[in-house]
Amino acid sequence: MHDDQEVAVLRLGHRPGRDERMTTHVGLTARALGADRVLFPDNAGQSLETVADITDRFGGPFEVELTDSPNAVIRGWDGRVVHLTMYGERIQDVEGDIRSAHRDEGEPLLLVVGSEKVAFDVYEAADWNVGVTNQPHSEVAGLAVFLDRLFEGRELEREWVGADRRVIPMETGKRVEPADGNGETDENEETGGDGETGGDGETDDNGPESA
């Protein structure tokens, strides 16, 4: 993010159909919460398209790519590797070291997020195996909390480049303006598009601004 060294997110494993929304949400969460890039397995082309489309409309910089060898990405990473897993060390115990490696030592970070069973190789290749709690929950939730803590909230102040629209924070209702600020307003759900934090960018009624 900004002038920091790169933070990339690698999604391990993707079962087309079953994992489409989770993989898409991993990508959109990475983008919204300050990562620079997400890498999906090469059978996740549909999720890639959704994330690229959101980036076109809501801005970047953010890259989304497919890889045919996630393991090679891990092995070849020039920086530190963090694997998010419920079996790992407690985030509150290791986040300071990780932040220091990234911010002070200038190490690019690769955040590995599992889906199906993760091979033991990944645990061994990681510089840190980190648990956002040691409870089973959601890879999307784990990634979100990790990024918010890594950046200590600075990601919430990020400015977006190349957007064609911008959501204006409101106490009540919805307001979307062209990113150049010419003032198209859109203050209720009849005329406004959808896109709750529940929006997942898919082109249906749950997608942002599909109206």
Q: Give the residue numbers of the binding site for S-adenosyl-L-methionine.
A: 84, 114-118
Stretch that binds a copy of itself, among 1-9, 38-46, 63-71, 140-148 (CB under 8 A): 140-148
Mark residues 89-108: x for contact with a copy of itself by CB under 8 A, - for none: xxxxx---------------
100, 138, 185, 191: residue in contact with a copy of itself (rule CB under 8 A): 138
In whole angstroms, the minimum distance from the beta carbon of 171 to a copy of itself comes to 6
109, 140, 150, 151: residue in contact with a copy of itself (rule CB under 8 A): 140
Type of residue at 194: D
Is 79 or 208 the residue whose CB approaches a copy of itself more closely? 208
Residue 173: Cβ-neighbour burial (10 angstroms; 0-12, 13-18, 19+): exposed
4, 42, 49, 194: residue in contact with a copy of itself (rule CB under 8 A): 194
Mark residues 117-136: x for contact with a copy of itself by CB under 8 A, - for none: xxxx--xx-x--x-xxxxxx
40, 143, 150, 151: residue in contact with a copy of itself (rule CB under 8 A): 143
Residues 92, 131 contacting (CB under 8 angstroms): no
Token readout for 185 is 């307003």
Within residues 50-79, the interface with a copy of itself by CB under 8 A covers 54, 58
**Per residue in 133-159, is it b (16+ CB within 10 Å) or e — as a string?**
eeeeeebbebbbbbbebbbeeebeeee
35 scored as a contact of a copy of itself (CB under 8 A): no
Strands 63-67 and 37-41: parallel
Residues 93, 135 contacting (CB under 8 angstroms): no
DSSP 156: G
